[in-house]
Amino acid sequence: MPIIEVSDLTKSYRVYQKREGLMDSVRGLFHREYREVQAVRGIDLTVEQGEFVAFLGPNGAGKTTTLKLLSGVINPTSGSATVMGYVPWERKHDYRRRFALVMGQKNQLWWDLPAQESYRLHQQIYGIDPQEFKQRLQELADLLDVARLLGQPVRELSLGERMKMELMAALLHSPDVLFLDEPTIGLDVIAQHNIQQFLKYYQEKRKITILLTSHYMKDVAALCKRVVIIADGRIQYDGSLSGIVDKFSGSKIVTLQFAEDVQPSNLGLIGEVLDTNWPKARIRIPRAEVPSRLAQALRDHTVEDVSVEDPPLEDVIADLFHAVGQDQRDADAAAAEQAATS
């Protein structure tokens, strides 16, 4: 049985539309205008126990809303979901003891107190046996190399150190499911790497289920075999990381090293020239035309070396987000035009 099951889940909000100007502001006190924002538009998702799944999407795509729904922070407009057999928004105590939510932009630790004081509060809230609490705290502190910082006020810690403390707080009660919302946001490269290594080790050791949102592709590449892409509140892709490029990229990046001393003027016939550092040139070529374009280049020029690569993953995903956004803007414009003429 899947540990997370989501079926046709939707969430919409009514947002107050405030108009500019004094008179319109006064009118708004008596006759308010609202518009409906659909944050999640009927998503279906299944996650098996022990999976480490990346949940990707642009800002406003519905990622954080979905995590809030699955953790029971908010109620859905329609649809259903279960996590470990529990309906999240029923907020049963047994469910609360079996999951954890970490949001990179929110703090769950007392700012002016040492983290160890907040951990003692967590111990009482979750009813953790004192001996188990001591062992878990020591294990996590050793894994994250923060034992020396437990007695230091949280406000005095660096951003990376605070995130380590937040992860410890989330894992002290040994949850079966962990929701991570951009845990490495704002961290430097070293801090990101440390968090990645810890999460990878801990997940492999404990076999817990993790759903991760992140804008850093390095997080995703280092941790997740499965990727779910959400845009405009809908799931656009669910599969392997490598499959994203195969499905959404229509081109390859070809790097050619020429033997010619002078750069020819007809490189554009091979494809879209991205940049040149003569005698090298990077050229974008439609995927289906790579063999014929390369054959033509070899006939027309003296080439010493050739490499063919997929475009960067970030570029492919960005193009996908742009295409989905453009489709939605076109649909909104068409709906507005139809409303104006009716």
Residues 175-207: tens digit of each pLDDT? 999 999 988 888 888 889 999 999 999 999 999
pLDDT given at position 342: 59
User: In this predicted model, which residue has the larger pLDDT, 43 or 331?
Assistant: 43
Instruction: Provide mean pLDDT across the span 89-110.
Output: 89
Q: CATH number of the domain that 256 lies in?
A: 3.30.70.1150
Residue 40 and residue 119 share a domain:
yes
- Let me know if residue 323 belongs to a domain: no
Looking at the structure of the chain, the number of domains it has is: 2
pLDDT band at 327 (very low <50, low <70, confident <90, very high): low
Instruction: Provide mean pLDDT across the span 302-323.
Output: 84
Instruction: Provide mean pLDDT across the span 131-144.
Output: 94
Residue 255 and residue 111 share a domain:
no
pLDDT given at position 187: 87
Listed ranges 201-205, 228-232, 319-323; the one with the highest mean pLDDT: 201-205
Residue 116 and residue 233 share a domain:
yes
Residue 272 and residue 170 share a domain:
no
Beta bridge partners of 212: 54, 180
pLDDT given at position 75: 94
Helix/strand/coil for 170? helix
Last residue of a domain, one of 203, 220, 245: 245
Average pLDDT of the chain to the nearest whole number: 87
| % of the chain residues with pLDDT over 70 | 92
Q: In what order do the strands lie in the sheet with 303-309?
A: 272-277, 280-286, 251-258, 303-309
Q: How many residues does the chain have?
A: 342
Residue 144 and residue 13 share a domain:
yes
Residue 78 and residue 21 share a domain:
yes
Residue 237 and residue 259 share a domain:
no
Q: Structure tokens of 113?
A: 């107190």
- Let me know if residue 157 belongs to a domain: yes
| Main-chain dihedrals φ then ψ at residue 237, nearest 5 degrees | -160, 145
Closest listed residue to residue 99, CA positions, set 89, 114, 109: 89
Residue 46 and residue 175 share a domain:
yes
pLDDT > 80? residue 25: no
pLDDT given at position 81: 96
User: In this predicted model, which residue has the larger pLDDT, 248 or 66?
Assistant: 66
- Let me know if residue 341 belongs to a domain: no
pLDDT > 60? residue 336: no
Domain holding 87, by residue range, is 4-245
- Let me know if residue 227 belongs to a domain: yes
Residue 110 and residue 152 share a domain:
yes
- Let me know if residue 267 belongs to a domain: yes
Residue 66 and residue 83 share a domain:
yes
- Let me know if residue 50 belongs to a domain: yes
CA angle 58, 60, 63 (to 5 degrees): 75
pLDDT > 80? residue 134: yes
Residue 274 and residue 220 share a domain:
no
Q: CATH number of the domain that 43 lies in?
A: 3.40.50.300
Helix/strand/coil for 70? helix
Instruction: Provide mean pLDDT across the span 20-28.
Output: 69
Q: How far apart are CA 276 and CA 262, in angstroms?
A: 12
Q: How far apart are CA 209 and CA 3, in angstroms?
A: 8
pLDDT > 60? residue 77: yes
- Let me know if residue 314 belongs to a domain: no
pLDDT > 70? residue 218: yes
Residue 255 and residue 240 share a domain:
no
